[in-house]
Amino acid sequence: MRALITAAATVVGAFLAGCSAGTGHPAASATPLPPDPHTAPVLLRIATAFNDEYQSGDYAPVYARWDARSQAVITQADYVGRNQECRSGPQPPAGTEGAAPGPHGAWIVSYEIGGQQLHDYWFYVHGRWVFDLVLSNPDMVPMYRMSPQQYVAAVGCSR
């Protein structure tokens, strides 16, 4: 009987630990997402949707495509909230142009926004294409680590 109580307590403790609010990451869904095919055309389609979602202000699916290292920089709620608060009207469309293998297993996605050529780093991890914020936009990492008040002042947007 004692072993049964100990086992039950262990299961309950593990469950509660998994539900703690400290991680900042959304809980995994009960149904795992299907894997992304590991091909350049699929990456290009995903990166196009990613850029379109960002440009239209739909930030939650953008964050969901970030790799774990990038998600450790800022919580989804803070990322979405800051981008919604500091959004400055309609954004020019992003023209996703190509995807090609890069260094150290990365894939480089090239795109253009308002005449500026940009490049993002993507990786294929556990059957999913994920965006690497740290490599793609390193200047944002220290800004996202700021308090919300410091971020607003640094970006120059009003609350």
Q: What is the pLDDT of residues 75-105, one digit of tens each?
A: 999 999 998 888 777 778 888 899 999 999 9
For the packed helices 76-85 and 148-155, what is the interaxial angle rounded to 10 degrees?
A: 40
Q: What is the pLDDT of residues 13-45, one digit of tens each?
A: 333 333 333 333 344 445 677 899 999 999 999
Whole-angstrom Cα distance, residue 55 to residue 62?
Answer: 10
pLDDT at 127: 96
pLDDT at 30: 53
Whether residue 123 contacts residue 105, with contact meaning beta carbons closer than 8 Å, is answered with yes
Whole-angstrom Cα distance, residue 112 to residue 110?
Answer: 7
Whether residue 106 contacts residue 122, with contact meaning beta carbons closer than 8 Å, is answered with yes
Whole-angstrom Cα distance, residue 117 to residue 98?
Answer: 12
pLDDT at 32: 72
- Quick check: 125 pLDDT over 60? yes
Which CA distances in Å does 45 have to 49, 52, 60?
Answer: 6, 11, 18
pLDDT at 15: 32
Full set of structural domains in the chain with CATH:
36-155 (3.10.450)
Assigned token pair, 1: 């009987």
Please give the angle made by the CA atoms of 140, 145 and 147, to the nearest 5 degrees: 120
pLDDT at 93: 83
pLDDT at 159: 55
- Please tell me which residue, 132 or 115, carries the higher pLDDT value: 132
